[in-house]
């Protein structure tokens, strides 16, 4: 099993390339973006030293399915998926914030709550909540979009408006889209026996209109619980059975790594890499309700290049 951890293409009309944490984004003629979902994996805002076979394919295909399933809610950037690891879409001017929406108190929000925090991103939290408890209504807790190697920072609606990162009218629409997308994701997850716990969305403007960008409802950008047994585990104070990248974070934390200065990433053995790849396949199949079809990993880079060039030259 081969993993694609770096790309360095020169596509027709290419203006520039941006190498993100896990995706490489090629600007074509300042009109289209070619987003390659690599097999890189990040946690605690750190890119881990080895890639996970098929991860890019799985995330790209999940995102494509959910983008297609939400076009009635808001327009999105996707034009085509010419390769299992590639989405091509329209170039948008992105808002410099990520819209994080939470339906349940867990993850970083729970860690903060446990330490006495009762307000996140300007949103007041009720007293007496427990880990993995459902909020009365989903809450939006935005973050800034950090550059590579830097941490995203919590930001409130008031700060976003004060800094001019979005106008009041734009932010109202971002909130509306965020909650509607989360509701749709929740409904689709329920059909698969899952609970969509929290997720993030990115938006941008194209021809003056707000578009949904990037991936949505993937296990890298979202957290899912299994619906069966949720209530029983919650009442007993037990850990929930989840579908998310949280298992990678937990493995890192168990081995003394949380992305802090001076900490070393634990060794990623072949066994660990294989187990992470298998967990991603489990995530894919549960989230989509379909069997994962592994694309050939022979000549991965050349396959992607050929497929993208063929699409661009149509």
**Domain region containing 211:** 94-243
Residue 279 belongs to some domain of the structure: no
Confidence (pLDDT) at 104: 98
Rounded to whole angstroms, the Cα distance separating 103 from 118 reads 16
Q: Tell me: the pLDDT tens digits for 117-155? A: 999 999 999 999 999 999 999 999 999 986 654 567 899
Residue 167 belongs to some domain of the structure: yes
Task: For 46-110, give the DSSP string.
Answer: EE-SS--TTHHHHHHHHHHHHHHTTTTTS-BSEEEEEETTEEEEE--EE-SEEEEEEEES-HHHH
Number of compact structural domains in the chain: 1
Residue 192: Cβ within 10 Å count? 17
Confidence (pLDDT) at 151: 65
The token duo for 169 is 């009218």
Rounded to whole angstroms, the Cα distance separating 115 from 235 reads 21
Residue 189 has pLDDT above 60, yes or no: yes
Residue 224 belongs to some domain of the structure: yes
Contact 43, 248 (CB under 8 A): yes
Helix, strand, coil percentages for the chain (3-state, nearest 5): 30, 25, 40
Confidence (pLDDT) at 194: 95
Q: What is the mean pLDDT of the chain?
A: 94
pTM comes to 0.89
Rounded to whole angstroms, the Cα distance separating 167 from 258 reads 35
For residue 47, is it left (φ>0), alpha (ψ between -120 and 50) or beta? beta
Residue 235 has pLDDT above 90, yes or no: yes
> What CATH number is given to the structural domain containing 146?
3.30.470.20
Q: Tell me: the pLDDT tens digits for 258-297? A: 989 999 999 999 999 999 999 899 889 999 999 999 999 9
Residue-level length of the chain: 314
The token duo for 35 is 């987003």
Helices marked H in 192-291 — which ranges?
230-236, 246-254, 270-288
Residue 287 has phi, psi (to 5 degrees) of: -70, -40
Q: Tell me: the pLDDT tens digits for 6-25? A: 999 999 999 999 998 899 99
C-alpha to C-alpha distances, 242 to 196, 224, 239, 248, nearest whole angstrom? 10, 6, 9, 12
Residue 119 belongs to some domain of the structure: yes
Mean pLDDT value across residues 186-208: 96
Residue 313 belongs to some domain of the structure: no
């Amino acid at each position: 099993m081969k993993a694609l951890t770096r790309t360095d293409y020169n596509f027709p009309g290419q203006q520039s390339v941006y190498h993100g944490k896990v995706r490489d984004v090629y600007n074509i003629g300042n009109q289209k973006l070619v987003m390659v979902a690599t097999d890189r994996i990040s946690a605690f805002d750190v890119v881990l030293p080895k890639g996970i076979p098929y991860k890019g394919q799985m995330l790209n295909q999940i995102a494509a399915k959910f983008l297609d399933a939400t076009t009635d809610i808001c327009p999105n950037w996707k034009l085509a998926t010419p390769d299992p690891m590639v989405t091509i879409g329209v170039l948008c001017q992105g808002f410099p914030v990520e819209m994080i929406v939470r339906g349940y108190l867990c993850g970083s929000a729970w860690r903060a709550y446990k330490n006495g925090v009762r307000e996140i991103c300007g949103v007041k939290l009720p007293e007496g909540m427990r880990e993995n408890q459902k909020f009365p209504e989903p809450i939006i807790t935005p973050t800034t979009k950090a550059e590579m190697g830097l941490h995203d920072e919590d930001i409130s609606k008031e700060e976003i408006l004060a800094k001019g990162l979005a106008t009041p009218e734009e932010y109202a629409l971002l909130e509306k889209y965020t909650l509607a997308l989360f509701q749709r994701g929740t409904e689709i997850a329920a059909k698969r026996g899952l609970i969509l716990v929290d997720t993030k969305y990115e938006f941008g403007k194209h021809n003056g209109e707000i578009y949904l960008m990037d991936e949505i409802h993937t296990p890298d950008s979202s957290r899912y619980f299994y619906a069966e047994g949720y209530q029983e585990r919650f009442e007993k104070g037990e850990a929930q059975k989840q579908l998310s990248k949280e298992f990678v974070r937990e493995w890192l934390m168990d081995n003394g790594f949380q992305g802090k200065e001076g900490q070393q990433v634990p060794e990623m053995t072949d066994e660990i890499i294989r187990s992470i790849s298998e967990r991603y396949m489990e995530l894919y199949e549960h989230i989509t309700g379909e069997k994962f079809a592994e694309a050939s990993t022979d000549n991965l880079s050349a396959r992607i290049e050929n497929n993208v060039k063929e699409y661009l030259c149509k």
